[in-house]
Every structure is written in C-alpha cells, then in structure tokens.
Amino acid sequence: MKSNSKGLILWLTGFSGSGKTTIAKGLERELKERGCLVELLDGDVVRTNLSKGLGYSREDRETNIRRIGFVANLLSRNDVVAIVAAISPYRTSRDEVRRTTENFIEVYVNSPLEVCEERDVKGLYAMARAGEIRAFTGIDAPYEEPLNPDIVCYTSEETVKESIAKVAAELQRLEYIPVKPQLEYFI
C-alpha cells in the first residue's frame, strides 16, 4: 500500500495523564483521513507485550524506550508515521532514539503535575501518594523535560481538538503529511 506520508517517528513525551494517548489517538484518526500509513505505539499497551516483565527502574525504563524506538524506527523507514505515546522520562533515552532515526519529531505534552494529578485518569497518582506504587514519575521518580521539543502542547490550556490540530499543522508545514482533503460538492 502506498502511503501519502513521509515516514517519521512522532514521539509524545510527558507526565502520566498529560494527554499523550488522547492526542495520539486523535492524530491517528486525522492522519488516516489524509491517506497516511499510521501505527500507534502506546506505552501502556507496549508494557503488556513487547516490554512485558519490565519494571520502572531507570534501567528498565531505558530498555523500554530503546525497544519502542527500535520498532518505531523500522516502521518509519517504510513510510509509516509511527506515533509513540510514552512517558519516556529520560532525556538521554529520547535523544538516543532521535540520533538513530532519520525523521524524528518530539512533542512535549506539557501539563503541570498538579493538573495531571487532579485528572488522575487511571487512579495511579492516588496510589503513588498512598505509597501503594513506587517510582512513579513526578512523585518519586524524575521527569526530565525536553530542552528543545519540536512541538509543545499545553494541554491544561488547550482543548484536545486544538492540541491535535497544532501537531497536524506542524507536520503539514514540514511536509511530512499532505494537506487535509477538502470535500467538494458537484451539482
């Protein structure tokens, strides 16, 4: 199948609950509408198969990111837009993937920790605060912000639609993806 896109890795990083999965799924839909080949690698899903058995130590998190990066790289070489949604808290791991990939776009899904904790989409912040889970990013494990992200989505200030549109517009501007087809009506 021919893709309308240039292959790339679109790497979404940010706290748990910042909006990575929501934006990734919306973009997946948006890009498919534009005739792009898309694959979504979501951290939560990857941990149930490709990275099953890995924990949350620095070493295990780095291994997880390396594996996701490896697969995303194979996809992106074949004209697929590989969307990665993973906390990926360590700058060195993200930069390593960037170095080994031809086309890499880092999206910082930026929301204050308090907002993510307030959302507590999966109930994990409450568990981390109660000491029921350890090494939780933002609570008792570090998050290293991107220093030069290609795109920043401020998800406590933007709507989901705005965040998705912002990323799609930038990919379009960089000519990775085609312009959204307009519906034409012929009478």
Footprint of ligand ADP (CB under 6 A): 14, 16-23, 85, 109, 119, 121, 155, 158-160, 163
In the structure encoding, which two tokens stand for residue 87, read together? Answer: 């906390």
96-to-103, 130, 149 alpha-carbon distances in Å: 13, 34, 14
Q: Which of 88, 93, 111, 163 is catalytic?
A: 88
CB of 121 to ligand ADP, least distance (A): 4
Please say which residue, 17 or 138, places its beta carbon nearer to ligand ADP.
17
| Angle subtended at Cα 82 by Cα 76 and Cα 85, rounded to the nearest 5 degrees | 145
Q: Is 111 labeled as catalytic in the residue annotation?
A: no
Going by the DSSP 8-state scheme, the letter that residue 187 receives in this structure is -
CB of 142 to ligand ADP, least distance (A): 17
- State which residue has the least CB distance to ligand ADP: 19
Identify the H or E element spanning 104.
strand 104-110
CB of 130 to ligand ADP, least distance (A): 19
Strand partners, 134: none
Query: What is the set of active-site residues?
Result: 88
